[in-house]
Amino acid sequence: MELYSFFRSGTSHRLRIALNLKGLKPAYRAIDLRVDEQAQAEYRVINPQGLVPALTLDDGSTLIQSPAIIEWLEERYPTPALLPEGPEARAQVRALAAMVGCDIHPINNRRILQYLRKNMGADEAAVNAWCATWITTGFDAIEVLLRQDTARGDFCFGGAPSLADVYLVPQVESARRFGVDMTRWPLISAVDATCSRLPAFAQAAPAAQSDAR
């Protein structure tokens, strides 16, 4: 397998975590978003959307969109599981993941921020304030849900990493990059600290990637 990734991409980060948790080590192919390599014709053949990540399988087929790829991983490599047993528990974990994947990340990703800069005249202070607004709204709600789950261990759900942690940790990384004060969310910060001590998460961190320069 070949993973097309950018070290600072939140979607790439979450997929790297999931691959590591599943014990998979695809070849790493860096796509440099800083010079718009994702928009070049060569990469558009791999992913017509011009986005990262993409995962090319051994048979030559390519999977795109991190939620779809992670679902494929869960179906193809079910152990260790990223979803708990039982439909209600699975719904809870999926909801936590979706709060990041659907409600925070999409309006804070590079395409949106570039539009704010180039088309709306936003300076870096305004861009950071934009990001902080939506991160704060989402994290406030996630913090409440974590507090309400009295059966929870050291992770977002239960006592082992789940899909929720896979999504949350990259968003915490992004929050710090945009100067958001994480002390507002002690439970989220504790989950992030727990996950960061695990090799699967530490090895997936942006700073640990070959293109982090």
pLDDT above 90: percentage of residues in the chain: 100
Domains, the chain, with CATH or none: 2-80 (3.40.30.10), 87-201 (1.20.1050.10)
Instruction: Give the mean model confidence (pLDDT) for residues 193-205.
Output: 98
Q: What rounded mean pLDDT belongs to the chain? A: 97
Does the model's pTM come out above 0.95? yes
Backbone dihedral angles phi then psi of residue 30, each to the nearest 5 degrees: -75, 130
Produce one character per residue of 128-159: b if its CB has 16 or more CB atoms within 10 Å, e if not.
bebbbebbbebbeebbebbeeeeebeebbbbe
What is the pLDDT, as a whole number, of residue 213?
A: 78
Task: Summarize pLDDT for 96-153 with one digit per residue, the tens.
Answer: 999 999 999 999 999 999 999 999 999 999 999 999 999 999 999 999 999 999 999 9
Pairing mode of beta strands 27-30, 54-56: unpaired
Q: Give SS3 for 3.
A: strand
Are the beta carbons of 184 and 139 closer than 8 angstroms? yes
Instruction: Give the mean model confidence (pLDDT) for residues 185-204.
Output: 98
- What residues contact 2, with CB distance under 8 A and at least 6 apart? 26, 27, 29, 55, 56
Are the beta carbons of 179 and 128 closer than 8 angstroms? yes
Task: Summarize pLDDT for 26-62 with one digit per residue, the tens.
Answer: 999 999 999 999 999 999 999 999 999 999 999 999 9
